[in-house]
Structure 1
Amino acid sequence: MDEMTRLRELRADAPVPDRAALAPGRKRLTEAIEGRSRRTLRLRADWRIASLGAVVAITAAALFVTQIVDTSDPRQSVAGDLDLSSPASALGEAADFLERQEVPPEPRNDQWIYLREENPDQEEQWKEVPAEVRKEMQLAYSPDSWIPYDDKAAENDESDTDYRTARESYRIAAGLPEDPEALLAELRKVFPTGDGSNGPREAEDDHSFRALTVLLQSYPLPPDALARIYRAMATVEGIGVTDHLIRDASGRQVIAVTRAYDANTRSEILLDPVDYSYAGQRDVVTRTHEFSGGDGTPTTVHKRGDLLMDVARTRAAVVDAKGQKP
């Protein structure tokens, strides 16, 4: 059994609405890193609470990290050509570029998706997990991962309705309608919100932004579909864009499409300014506040400007075998 399968099976027991409690293995990991808490994006609105800690970051990164394009083009050379005056301008410019690109063939069912993620914070958290726990769980941290394009076991796993395989995501994107309103409505169906039993249901625009973010993490997506996704994203209430390129976790200059997560935090979707591919995400503290994850974890102070999550997706490719790198 490979590491990705172990990680996905571990996540299948994560506490989501109307599901069983944490599995013993996850409990051991959580206890091993007690005292550290971290928020990460959830597929369900009812999950919008404090994260369980480093184990969630480790697992979620392996599961949802699905697209980064490697490029050596200097970001400084394109910064002056970008229109970052508004989300409509920036995302419209990205859509125009993508609509001019040739649509490559869909990956074969026997191919794999190679991914590389730069996440310094996740790596540091992983080091805090005791060696005996890592050995017992037979898990290891690596920025590189391989995901089967055709994962029938995951597609047929009815216990995990959140997860979408690379093939499912590709076909969902390819079939999205042109009209932004219809596109967003379709994605809200694909990635439904919780039932409200664990907290208030999402507002429609919150739901739309979350669904868009989840799909954008997939690789590959057809460029024409990505263009439709960006045009729809520009219509979501509260969307913004920084008026300058920012530095991601790997040091690259990227575009940051922003939206408030709550009163204290801003979510950022990062785009490559050269080819407008999905390049990662960040969560940025916008107001200094105290935070407690509950369950006896200590209260911490999050200061304005702190990064709660900083993921740079530096490489993605379709390869012919697990372990192969482009």
Structure 2
Amino acid sequence: MAELIDEVARVRELRAEAPAPDRASLAPGRARLLHAAATDRRRHRVRVRPRFVIVGVAAAVTAVAVAASLLVGRDDTRGMTTPATLTDGDLKGMSAAELLERAAEAVEGRPPVAEPRAKQWIYQKWAEEAPDEEAVEHLGDRARFSESWIRYDGSAHAFEQRDPFGKLLKLHVREMQLENGAEGDDRSPREMYRCIATLPADGRGALRALREKDAIADEKGATRAQNDYSEISVLLGADIKSPEGVAGLYRAFATLPGLTVVGHLVDTAAGRRAVAVRYSDNDDGDRDTWREWLFDPETFETLGVRRVRDGKVTGGSSAVTLALVDKPGERR
């Protein structure tokens, strides 16, 4: 039993830092890239230009959701209108361009909010879209969820170690120096947030800005559209997004070929209903596997991303909770 506990603890530790196995989402960290390569047989290594500031830090791409309270502020909702929730009927026949324009219009009308403080922590809890069956057998539903904390300035990361029965064993806090390329490929949530804030509101302008900044070195043999997708998906996976730039990001996403809207709402592993935007122009050699980006059908916040093959979800993760807190171990 002790050996099992140790093994599970190591698995949980790895999961706390592992992103969904997608080319762009793997860019944030070499260590996480190596872990994903071992588990997902990835063949591509993504290089990131250290001079650029948007390469993401995050414990899972897809954990990625920006809670509405963070985008619009917890208290100040004056002047806002609540968009209608999309239904299955709305999605039938809707193009990706139509959906993402609707999403852009919904987010760009929101009032600006104060940027998080450097010493605040981002708490994330997410659900695995395709949990390991052996882990589920040993741990039950807990194997589907992971949690972590990262300081907004990128100076520390934290995660909890628990036994197979859920009892807290230790809160691990590790110092990091993610800003200004101090630790290679990674960047802090603060750098990500500020970069998104600079994006123009129109899609073509935002796309040009991303190409000029060259977040991820172009992959040899990949198409221009695939390299654009790598740039955009890194930002879609940011922990906290500046509302000033999200509209342009969505519109830039809409310019890409190979995007379709799944004609009905889907259920995420976190138990939430979501709109799925499918990207079919993959760059990993597996043309039978799609990436589906998940959006809230009312707020249009990014909820996560998942891999789908033959109608079956094979990987990814989706948001359960995202909040700003004052210290690691604290939840909202």
Scaled by the length of structure 2, what TM-score is found? Answer: 0.65
Cα displacement string for residues 269-297 of structure 1 (whole angstroms, at most 9, x for unaligned residues): 10011111110111111xxxxxxxxxxxx
The aligned counterpart of 1:175 is 198
Corresponding position of 1:69? 67
2:178 to 146, 154, 165: 154
Aligned match of 2:169: none
Alpha-carbon distance, 1:238 to partner: 1.6
Which runs of no fewer than 5 residues in structure 2 stay unpaired?
A: 1-12, 19-27, 49-56, 70-83, 156-176
Report if aligned partners of 2:124, 2:322 keep a CA contact under 8 Å in 1: yes
Partner of 1:204: 224
Change in 2 beyond 3 A, CA 1:86/1:41: farther
* Identical-residue share of aligned pairs (%): 29
Q: SS where residue 202 of structure 1 aligns?
A: coil
Deviations 1:154-177 (A, max 9, x none): 11444522x222101100100112
Distance 1:43 1:238, change over 3 A: farther
Partner of 1:62, secondary structure, is coil
Indicate if the aligned counterparts of 1:83 and 1:89 stay in contact, CA closer than 8 A.
no
Q: Deviation at 1:181?
A: 2.5
The residue matched to 2:178 in structure 1 has which SS? helix
Map 1:1-326; keep pairs closer than 5 Å. 7=17, 14=31, 37-38=39-40, 44=46, 62=59, 64=61, 65-69=63-67, 78-79=86-87, 82=90, 85-119=94-128, 121-122=130-131, 124=133, 143-152=146-155, 153-161=177-185, 163-188=186-211, 189-193=213-217, 200-260=220-280, 261=282, 262-285=286-309, 304-326=310-332
Paired residues, number: 256
1:240 and 1:267 mapped to 2: Cα distance? 11
Work out the CA distance in 1 between the residues paired with 2:200 and 2:17. 33
Cα distance in 1 for residues equivalent to 2:251 and 2:180 = 32
Q: CA separation in 1, counterparts of 2:292 and 2:317?
A: 10
Contact kept, 8 Å, 2:64 with 2:318, in 1: the verdict is no
Distance 1:43 1:182 in 2: 28
Aligned-pair CA distance for 1:38: 2.4
Aligned-pair RMSD on alpha carbons? 3.7
- Does the C-alpha gap of structure 1 residues 204 and 311 become closer, same or farther in structure 2, counting only changes over 3 Å? same
Unpaired runs of 5+ residues, structure 1, are: 17-21, 31-36, 47-59, 130-139, 286-303
Letter in 2 for 1:108: R
Shift of 1:44: 2.0
Alignment correspondent of 2:80: none
| Matched AA of 1:218 | A
